[in-house]
A and B are shown apart, each in its own frame.
Chain A
Amino acid sequence: MLRVFHRDSVRAEIAYRADFAAGVVLSLFWHTWAVLGLAVFYQFAEDILGWTFPEAIVVLGMFLLMNGFRQLIVTPNLQQMSDHIRLGTLDYLLLKPVSAQFMVTLRRFNPILWVDCVIGLALALAGAILHDGVPGPADLLLFAVTLAAALIIVYALGVLLVAVVIRTVQAEGLDILVRGAFEVGRFPVDFYGGVTAWIFTFFVPIALITVFPARALLGDLPIAAAGASAAGAALALALATLVWRAALRSYEGASS
């Protein structure tokens, strides 16, 4: 079923082929700028708080990957949910014999964003190779674990947001807020210094989805940290599911 949903979205996009081609070009362009933006800081220092340029590139790559993934699945479904509530079509959706959570969180994709994900990953790998040669199998394994955990966390975030939209109806503000929070992950969080770095490590787990996989790829992530990120992912998913169910209970339906 997931494949059908995705194909629908791909078809919708392919219909505007010129846009799709342009989208790929735009992605490449945008990612180049991201690297340049980082380079501005490294004009003045060899390393910043112990992060060299290639190391920071790995974090940037992870950020681009995660941000792309967020826009791939979270943003379109969020908008869709807002429309459902507004037009009262959520009722129909709830009548379908499939998991409602599945229906509302994975119904729409924004396939052009796969390009962002791939480039992000390539950038992260390139940074790692520049830093220290090709990563060994143990590092890659840790990377795979933390990456999967990070993707699950982003998906859980999507579920959570869709649940919130049931109450707030509007998706725009939420999406901007989340985009802003993600944007912080562009640099290693300790760059921001002081309280900010602390907040984004522990309170809003941006570090968990960018810095952890990046460190794994660079070969200096303790195994315990990988375990912690897997636990974090499980916790996030459980929490999001609970919130979604509670939101559905409180859904009053669009009165005609």
Chain B
Amino acid sequence: MSVIAVRELSRHYRVRISGERSGPRRLLRPRLSTVPAVQDVSFAVDAGEIVGFVGPNGAGKTTVLKCLSGVLHPTSGAIDVLGFTPHQRQRDFLKRITLVMGQRNQLLWDLPAWDSFLANQAIYSIGAAEFRATTDELTELLSLGSVLHKPVRQLSLGERARCELAAAMLHRPAVLFLDEPTLGLDFDAQDAVRSFVRDYVRRHAATVLLTSHYLDDITSLASRVLIIGSGRIAYDGALGDLVGFEHEERVLTVQMETAEPVTVPGVDSLRQDGTTVVIRASRAEASAVAAHILNHYPVRDISIAGPPLDDVLRKKITKAARA
């Protein structure tokens, strides 16, 4: 039984064309053009699945997520989530889903995150006992502890992102739409978000549709991938087939204390811009390279990540479009 079923979903936007000539008539009746953001997209997701939803910027990922969560009406096609039609925005539907958008702030800025939780408790009509149990669980899973009682403005970006996530999960949604949940976070915070999603799904058999630009998000969480390109589904299947040797490459980003030139023996893909050093290395070499830099240079911060998905995806999409 699928939790999410999408059939031939299309979504068009009307945009105003700024013409050469303007005048009062143009102002009153601007020339509109219709831009298809999503075209004939169909797929289904079963309960307990974590599906990675990937594609280059502007491919229509966010549009699909917004249609699925009821923020946008589809232009045509049918959507069924948990037996509801999302855009009717029934209260019972909204209480069972959540949409997390990275770098969107829904917490009250001047107050501790705890107070935002209380506001959400009121809005979602969560009973006292259930609220206590959920907040205990979220505090543990996201290791929030003392963070909850400091004003949000004093939190670091990573702490804030964890609180945002907790606030979006208070009503224990059965379906999670995560739109770039790790955007702009450092390595530790990304990791915390990932392990949270994994644990939550295991405990509550929740269903997740996740978009991300970080390959690691997708590979560590999803077992199945949907690739969308130019508003169409280009690939739907297991992750294994998709990620071949490309995933073997690692990108090291190092923030140096000084702008002193860095050299690593045996590595020629090194680019340096002031105090920022970027190195591409194979998965096997990556840790040796990191160790060399840490031993020989003053380092402020170092991170290791897979290559940006865009390159991998673009190849896949063009291939799929040809097939």
Bound CA span A255–B184, Å: 12
Q: Which of A15, A17, A21, A256 is B158 in contact with, Cβ under 8 Å?
A: A256
Bound CA span A216–B109, Å: 47
Chain A interface, number of residues (Cβ within 8 angstroms): 13
**Are A17 and B27 CB-contacts (below 8 A) given A254-B157, A255-B157?**
yes
Whether B83 is near chain A, meaning CB under 8 Å from some CB there, is no
Q: How far is the CB of B30 from chain A (nearest CB, A)?
A: 8
**Are A256 and B153 CB-contacts (below 8 A) given A17-B27, A18-B27?**
no
Interface magnitude class on chain B:
10 to 19
Chain B, range 130-181, C-beta contacts under 8 Å to A: 153, 156-158
Whether B185 is near chain A, meaning CB under 8 Å from some CB there, is yes
Chain B, range 75-113, C-beta contacts under 8 Å to A: 103, 109
Instruction: Assess whether A87 is in contact with B103, with CB atoms less than 8 Å apart.
Output: yes
Total residue contacts A-B, CB cutoff 8 A: 24
Instruction: Assess whether A88 is in contact with B27, with CB atoms less than 8 Å apart.
Output: no
**Are A256 and B185 CB-contacts (below 8 A) given A17-B22, A88-B157?**
yes
Specify the chain B residue showing the minimal Cβ separation from A89.
B184
**Are A15 and B157 CB-contacts (below 8 A) given A256-B185, A256-B186, A256-B189?**
no
Q: Which residues of B contact A (CB under 8 A)?
A: 18, 22, 27, 103, 109, 153, 156-158, 184-186, 189, 274
23 examples of A-B residue contacts, CB within 8 angstroms: A15-B18, A17-B18, A17-B22, A17-B27, A18-B27, A21-B27, A86-B153, A87-B103, A88-B157, A88-B184, A95-B274, A169-B153, A170-B109, A170-B153, A254-B156, A254-B157, A255-B156, A255-B157, A256-B157, A256-B158, A256-B185, A256-B186, A256-B189
Q: Which residues of A contact B (CB under 8 A)?
A: 15, 17-18, 21, 86-88, 95, 169-170, 254-256
A17-B27, A95-B274 known; 17 other A-B pairs, CB under 8 Å? A17-B18, A17-B22, A18-B27, A86-B153, A87-B103, A88-B157, A88-B184, A169-B153, A170-B109, A254-B156, A254-B157, A255-B156, A255-B157, A256-B156, A256-B157, A256-B158, A256-B189
